[in-house]
Structure formats: structure tokens, C-alpha cells
């Protein structure tokens, strides 16, 4: 089973307002190479964007993996670890549950906006996609470049994450 690292973040510009613009981004690392995935969510809360970001990263994996997933959302970590009850956002949680099913996931909280290179890159990408209203490959490439590795899909000859 491959060991993969995922950093994910969601952003909701105007959270709680009627004109919300939300996005989710995940950076997946395998053997020192990073791959970025993003999704523009439109009208969604920050919590929904955070849940989606984790699902997005897990959905990008093409086979069952051992995953260390980092998020700055205690909501995601505590809920997926069974310490918080799911009172809302049930359809969002269903997507994450489905994405996590075939993987062995270790849910890790990381302090946001605290200087971690990969977390900062994923945060910036999520905010930029939310602001632009669409997923732009240049934004995802900039996140990978910020981490320091290009060649998003060139993991090893014949291997995909």
C-alpha cells in the first residue's frame, strides 16, 4: 500500500453571507512529487469547503493508500476521528465518507496560517480559486511550484497516485 501525504484546505469568501464564493484544494504528495486538485464550490460555507477539500484529495487517489491527511479544520479532524457528532452538512460528510472508505487515513490537524509551506500553498490556492470563481490550472501549478516540485503527475514510470 502506497503512503501518501495530503494537505487540504477550503475557503469561503463571504462566509455566512448571501454572495459566498467557496473553493476546495488538496495537494497530494508521493515520493517527493506533488499533485494539486481543486474544485470551485460557489455558494458554500467554510465548513463545507473544508470537508470537500479532504474528500477531493482522497478522491484523486487511484488505488487504496495509507494516507496522512493534514487540514487546518478541527471540524474535519474531530468529526472523522469520531469525537464530534454530525449535526449538519450530512451530504458533504457522505462524500467524504465515500472517499475515505478504501484508504487507511490518519487525520491530522495543522495550525493554519502558521508558516507551514505546504499548508500555506494549499490555503492560498483555495482562496485564489474562490476569488476567481473557477479552477485555474495556473493556480494549481503555482501551489505545486510554491512547495518546490513540478511534474505533478510524473511520479514514477507507470505509477499514478
In a domain, 154, yes or no: no
Please count the structural domains in the chain: 1
**Which pLDDT score, from 0 to 100, does residue 159 have?**
43
- Angstrom distance (rounded) from CA 91 to CA 121: 27
pLDDT digits (tens, 9 = 90+) for 86-108: 999 999 999 999 999 999 999 99
Inside any domain, residue 153: no
Cα–Cα distance, 78 to 107 (Å, whole number):
8
Asked if residue 89 is part of any domain, the answer here is yes
pLDDT at 155 over 60: no
Domain enclosing residue 23, as ranges: 2-147
pLDDT at 149: 55
Compute the C-alpha angle 34/121/105, nearest 5°.
55
> Is the pLDDT reported for residue 152 higher than 60?
no
In this prediction, residue 114 has a pLDDT band, given cuts at 50, 70 and 90, of confident
42-59 tens-digit pLDDT? 999 999 999 999 999 999
Give dist(CA 110, CA 24) in Å, integer.
17
Predicted local confidence at residue 18, as pLDDT = 76
Lowest mean pLDDT of 15-19, 44-48, 72-76, name the range.
15-19
Residue 157 lies in a domain: no
Asked, for residue 160, whether it belongs to a domain, the answer is: no
CA nearest 129: which of 48, 49, 17?
A: 49
Show the cell assigned to 31.
515520493
Identify whether 114 is part of a domain. yes
Whether 158 has a pLDDT exceeding 50, the answer reads no
Answer whether residue 80 is part of any domain.
yes
C-alpha cell at 35: 499533485
* Percentage of the chain modeled with pLDDT above 70: 91
Residue 92 lies in a domain: yes
Give the domain CATH number at 85: 3.30.420.10
Q: Range with the lowest mean pLDDT among 13-17, 25-29, 92-96?
A: 13-17
pLDDT of residue 15: 79
The secondary structure of the chain as a DSSP string is -EEEEEEEEEEEETTTSTT-EEEEEEEEEETTEEEEEEEEEES--HHHHHHHHHHHHHHT-SS-EEEEEEES-HHHHHHHTTSS---S-HHHHHHHHHHHTTSEEEEEE--TTSS-HHHHHHHHHHHHHHHHTS--HHHHHHHHHHHT---TT-SBTTB--
Does the model's pTM come out above 0.85? yes
Amino acid at each position: 500500500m502506497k503512503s501518501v501525504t495530503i494537505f487540504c484546505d477550503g475557503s469561503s469568501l463571504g462566509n455566512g453571507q448571501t454572495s459566498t464564493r467557496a473553493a476546495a484544494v488538496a495537494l497530494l504528495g508521493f515520493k517527493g512529487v506533488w499533485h494539486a486538485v481543486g474544485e470551485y464550490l460557489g455558494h458554500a460555507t467554510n465548513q463545507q469547503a473544508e470537508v470537500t477539500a479532504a474528500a477531493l484529495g482522497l478522491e484523486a487517489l487511484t488505488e487504496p493508500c495509507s494516507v496522512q491527511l493534514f487540514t487546518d479544520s478541527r471540524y474535519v479532524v474531530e468529526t472523522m476521528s469520531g469525537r464530534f457528532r454530525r449535526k449538519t452538512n450530512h451530504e458533504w460528510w457522505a462524500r467524504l465518507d465515500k472517499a475515505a472508505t478504501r484508504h487507511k487515513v490518519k487525520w491530522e490537524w495543522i495550525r493554519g496560517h502558521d508558516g507551514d509551506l505546504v499548508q500555506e500553498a494549499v490555503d492560498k490556492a483555495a482562496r485564489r480559486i474562490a476569488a476567481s470563481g473557477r479552477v485555474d490550472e495556473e493556480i494549481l501549478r503555482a501551489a505545486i511550484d510554491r512547495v518546490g516540485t513540478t511534474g505533478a503527475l510524473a511520479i514514477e514510470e507507470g505509477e499514478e497516485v
